[in-house]
A and B are shown apart, each in its own frame.
Chain A
Amino acid sequence: EAGVAQSPRYKIIEKRQSVAFWCNPISGHATLYWYQQILGQGPKLLIQFQNNGVVDDSQLPKDRFSAERLKGVDSTLKIQPAKLEDSAVYLCASTLEDRVYEQYFGPGTRLTVT
């Protein structure tokens, strides 16, 4: 079974530029999460999708972050404009609807904002 795919793996941008991350979850997983993980901390939930609908985006900084999952499969997370404090690893995870406790994570995208 293929795992969660993410790209790119690394990205370096200057502040005020924009960036987009892509995630393809495990086939059949209806629930998809985007997390931000700052060095030395645990993953922090940004947004949760169930199929192509948003379940919770209460922690997403909506003035600069946006995310979509148009066909209920792959998803993109965008930051525009980026700030220095956005430097982090952005993790995508997916799971079956009834197994929220067992999430499968992708390798993440390491973003550096200079």
Chain B
Amino acid sequence: GQSLEQPSEVTAVEGAIVQINCTYQTSGFYGLSWYQQHDGGAPTFLSYNALDGLEETGRFSSFLSRSKGYSYLLLKELQMKDSASYFCAVRGSGAGSYQLTFGKGTKLSVIP
């Protein structure tokens, strides 16, 4: 089985940096994705980490430590439009390698 833990809510100031954490426990692991979902909208893919380390895409970075079962999403130069829910999703191994299991999500509120 798989379990993922994320903080339910985070608040940050416009222009600042915020880190959203995700810890996971799985029986098998291929990688971890991050998705963004605005209220009433569809989840959209942000990043994927299969190996330890940092992946950067513009203002967004994602880090993975396989040995610690830990990942974080880093958002820099926060903008009001970044207010959304952020989900980590684990890709398991074996039959689970064809699926993603999503966490409950972290609601990010960006304030002026």
Contact = CB atoms under 8 A, between A and B. Distances in A.
Contact of A101 (B42, B48, B103): B48
A101 B45 CA distance: 8
Looking at chain A, what size class is its interface with the partner chain? 20 to 34
Contacts of A48: 98-99
A52 to B, nearest CB: 16
A41 B8 CA distance: 10
A103 B45 contact: yes
Interface in A50-95: 50, 55-56, 91, 93
Nearest to A6: B42
B102 interface: yes
Interface in B74-112: 87, 89, 91, 95, 97-105
Contact of A107 (B41, B89, B99, B102): B41
A50 B98 CA distance: 10
Contact of A42 (B31, B45, B87, B91): B87
B43 interface: yes
B92 to A, nearest CB: 10
B9 to A, nearest CB: 11
B71 interface: no
A24 interface: no
Contacts of A105: 42-44
A100 interface: yes
B98 A108 contact: no
Which 5 pairs of residues, A with B, have the shortest CB-CB distance? A42-B102, A105-B42, A101-B48, A101-B33, A102-B45
Interface of A: 4, 31, 33, 40-45, 48, 50, 55-56, 91, 93, 100-108
Given A101-B33, A106-B42, 12 more contacts: A41-B104, A42-B87, A42-B103, A43-B102, A48-B98, A55-B98, A91-B43, A100-B99, A101-B31, A101-B100, A102-B48, A103-B45
